[in-house]
Amino acid sequence: MKSRTLSAAFLRRPLLGTALLVALLGGCASGPEKDVTAGWSPNKLYAEAMDERAAGNYDKAIQYFEKLEGRAAGTPLAQQAQLEKAYAHYKNGEPAQAIATLERFMRLHPASPALDYALYLKGLVNFNDNLGLFGFLSQQDLSERDQKAAKDSFEAFKELVERFPDSRYAPDARQRMVYIVNALAQSEVHIARYYHRRGAHVAAINRAQQAIRDYPNVPAVEEALYILYKSYEALGMEEQARDARRVLEANFPGSVFLTRGLQRDSGPWWKLW
């Protein structure tokens, strides 16, 4: 009987040791992660966040800016942290987070002296003309992509130039607005050209007319008029075709479309930068 008791106690020892080891390891794993910024002043935290952002470490920079918002709450530095965080999101390819941060900033600080910059950055985030590798290979430009972001960008730039006409960001915003309007017009022309080349001439006419009606003073109108002229001609509507050609020649003397037709250029249709 004694030997059996000793044997059972012996068998229980490894199990007890294992359970203790698991408990110890579990305690280590669940321990709080040390906050390396705990002893930093707000100014140091801001400087470190800016350094991380400059180095391209956007995730780390965003973490630091978020900590700074809490530690410097109610101060101009906290407001600056919000703007810098929005820019870091933008550079990190996170437009939705950037826009959300900017809209929160504008809602909380409607009288901020940096409101013009917030509007400019909002327009810039939505503008997003960086197409990447596939955009470069396909020679795609802004006019061929989803137009919602372009329209949102235009509205942000418009609010900026209307509310802050003397802002340092206003001149660039105005240029980008011109680009966006041309791009939106060209989007309609891309669709009109698509229909025309496939023989859907009624649809092509509708799109060309829409571009001319909605964006009457932009370069894309030249091609829209040419598509209108050729589509009417293809449908045997000779009087309308003559009228469209006459308007084209009057507004764009020596139009290249009358000599070369619809041919895609080798590069983006129009670009300021």
CATH number for the domain spanning 73: value is 1.25.40.10
How many Cβ atoms are within 10 Å of 95's Cβ, its own excluded? 16
Residue 135 inside a domain? The answer is no
Residue 11's pLDDT band (boundaries 50, 70, 90)?
Answer: very low
What average pLDDT score do residues 203-232 get? 94
Q: Tell me how far CA of residue 195 lies from CA of 156, 163, 206, 224, in angstroms.
A: 32, 41, 10, 12
| Predicted pLDDT at 81 | 96
**Domain boundary residue, one of 50, 83, 108:** 108
| Predicted pLDDT at 263 | 64
Q: From start to end of 48-107, where are the E strands?
A: none
| Predicted pLDDT at 35 | 80
| Predicted pLDDT at 145 | 56
Residue 270's pLDDT band (boundaries 50, 70, 90)?
Answer: very low
Taking Cα atoms as reference points, which of 125, 113, 117 lies closest to residue 88?
Answer: 125
Answer whether 60's CB lies under 8 Å from 25's CB.
no
How many Cβ atoms are within 10 Å of 251's Cβ, its own excluded? 13
Residue 6 inside a domain? The answer is no
Note the pLDDT tens digit of each residue in 108-147.
999 999 999 999 999 999 986 543 333 333 444 444 556 7
Residue 4 inside a domain? The answer is no
| Predicted pLDDT at 39 | 84
At residue 215, does pLDDT exceed 60? yes
Taking Cα atoms as reference points, which of 59, 62, 68 lies closest to residue 37?
Answer: 68
Q: Give the predicted TM-score (pTM) of the model.
A: 0.72
Residue 149 inside a domain? The answer is no
Q: Domain range for residue 47? A: 41-108
CA–CA distance, 186 with 248 (Å, rounded to integer): 16
Please give, one letter per residue, the 3-state secondary structure of 105-140: HHHHCCCCCCHHHHHHHHHHHHHCCCCHHHHHHHCC
**Domain boundary residue, one of 86, 108, 130:** 108
| Predicted pLDDT at 149 | 86
**Domain boundary residue, one of 85, 108, 131:** 108
Residue 255 inside a domain? The answer is yes
| Predicted pLDDT at 32 | 61
Total structural domains within the chain:
2
Answer whether 167's CB lies under 8 Å from 116's CB.
yes
